[in-house]
Amino acid sequence: MELTVVNSGNNDVIVNLDVDGTAVPAWKIPAGETDSAEIRSTDQSEGLTCDVSINITTTNGANMNVQIKAWQYQVNP
């Protein structure tokens, strides 16, 4: 799955992801920028599904304007 975060606010944001119970290194998105990350499941026993937890905070505690776009795709082995 590719996760795209659009930060249209005036503050940098920190994105913390948890994929299938495994924390992913914190991801910083500067103010006014858009960035994407590839998310892969670490638990193959669940097949093509993965559980993703997302926590977004600003670097200074201010209000934020953030949009998350996610989609999943399947690739034949």
**What per-residue confidence (pLDDT) applies to 23?**
83
**What per-residue confidence (pLDDT) applies to 30?**
92
pLDDT by residue for the chain (77 residues), tens digit each?
A: 777 888 888 888 888 888 777 888 888 999 899 888 877 766 666 556 667 777 787 877 766 666 666 655 555 54
Q: How many Å apart are CA 58 and CA 77, to the nearest integer? A: 39
Q: How many Å apart are CA 48 and CA 30, to the nearest integer? A: 31
Strands 34-38 and 52-58: unpaired
**What per-residue confidence (pLDDT) applies to 46?**
55
